[in-house]
A and B are shown apart, each in its own frame.
Chain A
Amino acid sequence: MKPLRVPHALTPPLLRRLGPADLVMLCLVAGAIATVVAFAREFEAPLTPAVQIDLRPAALVRYTLYSLTRGVLALAISYLFALAFGWTAARSRAAERLLLPMLDILQSIPVLGFLPGLVLGLLALFPTRNTGLELAAILMIFTAQAWNLALSFYNSLKSLPEPLRDACRMAGWSAWRTFRQLEVPAAAHGLVWNGMLSMAGGWFFLMVNEAFRLGGRDYRLPGVGAYMSVALDRGDAGAMALAVTAMVVMIVGVDQVLWRPLVVWVEKFRLDETAGSAAGEGQGSWVLELVRRARLVRRAAVLRRRAYRTARLAARPFERPWRAARPGTLVRASRVVFDDPRARRVAGALVIALVVAGAVLGLRGLVLLVARLRGPEWARLFGAAGLTFARVMGAVLVATAWALPAGVAIGRSPRLARALQPVIQVVASFPAPMLFPLVVLLFERLGVGLGLSSVALLVLAGQWYILFNVIAAVAAIPEQLRDAAAVFRLSPLARWRVLYLPAAVPALVTGWVTAAGGAWNGSIVAEYIEVGGRLRMTEGLGSLISDATARANFPLLAGGIALMSLIVVGWNRLVWRRLMEWAQARFGLAA
Chain B
Amino acid sequence: MTPGAVLLEARHVTQRFRLPNGQVLEALRDVSLAVREHEVVALVGPSGCGKSTLLRLLAGLARPAEGEVLYRGRPLDGVLAAAAMVFQSFALLPWLTVEENVAMGLEARGVHGAARRDAVARAINLVGLDGFEQAYPKELSGGMKQRVGFARALAVAPEILLMDEPFGALDPLTAENLRSQVVDLWRDPATGVNTLVVVTHSVEEAVFLAGRIVVFGSNPGHVREELVNPLPYPRQERSPEFDDMVDRLHAILTATLLPEPTPAAPQRLIPFPRVHVSEVTGLLDHLLTRPDGKGPVFELAEDLGVDYDRMSAVVRAAEQLGWVITPGEIVQLTPAGRELMAMDDAARKDTTRARLARQPLFGRLLGMLKEEGAVEDEEVLADLTIYFPFIPAHSLFETIVEWGRYAELLDHDADAGRLVLLGWEGAAEPREE
Contact = CB atoms under 8 A, between A and B. Distances in A.
B158 to A, nearest CB: 8
A166 interface: yes
Contacts of A324: 110
Contacts of A49: none
A418 B21 CA distance: 42
A313 B113 CA distance: 8
Interface string A248-271: 000000000000000000001111
A166 B93 contact: no
A333 interface: yes
Interface string A325-338: 11111111111100
A324 B108 CA distance: 13
Contact of B77 (A270, A321, A333): A333
Given A268-B95, A312-B113, A334 B138 contact: no
A170 B59 contact: yes
A172 B95 contact: no
B94 A331 contact: no
Given A163-B87, A273-B138, A170 B61 contact: yes
Contacts, number: 118
A322 B83 contact: no
Contact of A326 (B78, B95, B109, B414): B109
Contacts of A369: none
Interface size class of chain A, counting residues whose CB lies under 8 Å from the partner chain: 35 or more
B56 A171 contact: no
Given A171-B104, A334-B78, A585-B414, A273 B94 contact: yes
B interface bracket (residues with beta carbon within 8 Å of A): 35 or more
B121 interface: no
Given A172-B109, A327-B159, A166 B104 contact: no
B89 A161 contact: yes
B79 interface: yes
B93 A182 contact: yes
A169 interface: yes
Contacts of B199: none
A173, A330, A339 — most chain B CB neighbours (10 Å): A330
A479 interface: no
A561 to B, nearest CB: 36
Interface string B53-81: 00010011100000000011000111111
Contact of A329 (B59, B81, B96): B81
A331 B77 contact: no
A319 B105 CA distance: 16
B95 A269 contact: yes
Contacts of B80: 330-331
Given A167-B104, A319-B113, A172 B94 contact: no
Given A326-B157, A330-B71, A172 B105 contact: yes
B113 A316 contact: yes
Contacts of B157: 326
B111 interface: yes
Given A173-B104, A325-B110, A326-B157, A331 B81 contact: yes
Interface in A139-183: 161, 163-164, 166-174, 181-182
A185 interface: yes
B115 A167 contact: no
Given A170-B84, A330-B78, A331-B78, A271 B104 contact: no
Contacts of B89: 161, 163
A268 B84 CA distance: 27
Nearest to A173: B108
A534 interface: no
A339 B60 CA distance: 12
A325 B84 CA distance: 14
B136 to A, nearest CB: 8
6 contacts: A173-B108, A268-B95, A322-B111, A327-B82, A328-B82, A335-B78
Shortest beta-carbon contacts, A-B, top 10: A172-B108, A333-B78, A171-B105, A163-B91, A167-B91, A320-B110, A171-B104, A331-B81, A163-B87, A325-B110
Interface of A: 161, 163-164, 166-174, 181-182, 185, 268-271, 273, 312-313, 315-316, 319-322, 324-336, 339, 585-586
